[in-house]
Amino acid sequence: MQWMQDPSQSNVDILNNVKREVSRHFRAKKKAYRRAKIEEFETNRSKILGNCIEATMTLKMGTSLDVI
């Protein structure tokens, strides 16, 4: 005798499958976004660090380094 699923259980299973697929999709998108941001940071690291140092010096001196 073949066991038949109750219709409400079938709907729950379908919903769970859809949730799982959506979660996978957005996890993959998030992972790709983070990977791109890390690569961008690594390529611009010296520029970013230079800007941070310049901003720190500006705050300590109270003036822009361009004026000095």
> pTM score, two decimals?
0.53
Q: Is residue 35 part of a domain?
A: yes
Q: Is residue 45 part of a domain?
A: yes
Domain that holds residue 39: 15-61
For the chain, the domain total comes to: 1
User: Per residue in 3-56, pLDDT tens?
Assistant: 456 768 888 889 999 999 999 999 999 999 999 999 988 888 888 888 888 888
Quickly state the pLDDT bin for 58 (edges 50, 70, 90).
Answer: confident
Quickly state the pLDDT bin for 65 (edges 50, 70, 90).
Answer: low
d(CA 65, CA 61): 9
Q: Is residue 57 part of a domain?
A: yes
Q: Is residue 9 part of a domain?
A: no
What is the pLDDT, as a whole number, of residue 36? 95
